């Protein structure tokens, strides 16, 4: 009897595992669907003018279902930034591998950040609604982790600039201030980006922008 019971439990466990995996996959897909819908509407209308009902309708969910995944609108908004931050940070570091010098690393940062935002047009629109690099403005929902991610990006850029100053390829100046300038320049470029997927009407190529960045950061010595 004991052996039969063990076999029964093992069989039941094997049957339960695929169901649990399917349930978890469904939850993950539903969460992603809500984040995508929220990112799109927040990018179009901003945080305060967006309602959970609009997001739920866009994702084909009920408002009650949204609360199964997120505490409130603020939590949903914050998780958009956390999701993109988790994609951005490791890819940022990878983009710098093999840079010839500091100035080349800055060019790689520009190419990576522009490509990252182009590949995520709704997040790009949301990004443009912020007043600082990769972090919501003070009157929108935010969290300590989102702020830490933004500070980490600025810090990594400052480290690149500091190394470029040491190797003689980047102009002198406060690396932290120059890092913020670089982020502001990328944000400004997004508003005039000529990429076909962009909704912005001005035309200014990435090559032209890279020339502007190079002129701003190249060593004057």
pLDDT in tens, 163-188: 999 999 999 999 999 999 999 999 99
Q: 119-149 pLDDT, tens per residue?
A: 999 999 999 887 544 454 444 667 899 999 9
DSSP secondary structure code for residue 218 in this structure: B
- The class level of CATH for 77-221 reads mainly alpha
Cite the DSSP H helix spans in the chain. 2-45, 52-58, 63-66, 73-95, 102-118, 121-128, 144-167, 175-190, 206-217
Domain locations in the chain as residue ranges: 1-70, 77-221
The CA distance from 160 to 99, in Å, is 10
- Whether residue 157 has pLDDT greater than 90: yes
- Whether residue 25 has pLDDT greater than 80: no
CB–CB of 173/126 below 8 Å?
Answer: no
What is the average pLDDT value for the chain, to the nearest integer? 86
3-class state of residue 138 by DSSP: coil
CB–CB of 147/137 below 8 Å?
Answer: no
CB–CB of 120/129 below 8 Å?
Answer: no
Region 24-48: what's the mean pLDDT?
86
Place of tokens 């093992």: 10
Is CATH 3.40.50.300 the classification given to domain 1-70?
A: no
Indicate the pTM of the whole model: 0.81
Of 22-36, 80-94, 97-111, 163-177, minimum mean pLDDT range: 22-36
């Amino acid at each position: 009897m004991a052996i039969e019971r063990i076999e029964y439990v093992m069989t039941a466990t094997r049957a339960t595992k695929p169901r649990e995996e399917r349930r978890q996959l469904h939850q993950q897909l539903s969460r992603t669907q809500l984040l995508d819908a929220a990112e799109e509407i927040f990018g179009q209308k901003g945080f305060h003018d967006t309602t959970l009902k609009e997001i739920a309708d866009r994702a084909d969910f009920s408002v009650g279902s949204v609360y199964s995944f997120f505490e409130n609108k603020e939590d949903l908004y914050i998780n958009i930034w956390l999701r993109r931050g988790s994609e951005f940070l490791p890819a940022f570091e990878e983009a710098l591998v093999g840079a010839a010098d500091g100035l080349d690393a800055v060019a790689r940062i520009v190419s990576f950040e522009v490509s990252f935002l182009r590949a995520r047009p709704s997040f790009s629109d949301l990004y443009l609604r912020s007043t600082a690099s990769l972090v919501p403005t003070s009157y929108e929902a935010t969290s300590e982790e989102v702020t830490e991610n933004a500070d980490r990006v600025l810090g990594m850029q400052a480290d690149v600039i500091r190394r470029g100053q040491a190797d003689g390829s980047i102009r002198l100046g406060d690396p932290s201030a120059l890092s913020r300038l670089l982020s502001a320049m990328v944000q400004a470029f997004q508003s005039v980006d000529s990429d076909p997927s962009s909704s912005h009407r001005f035309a200014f190529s990435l090559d032209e922008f890279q020339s502007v960045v190079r002129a701003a950061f190249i060593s004057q010595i």
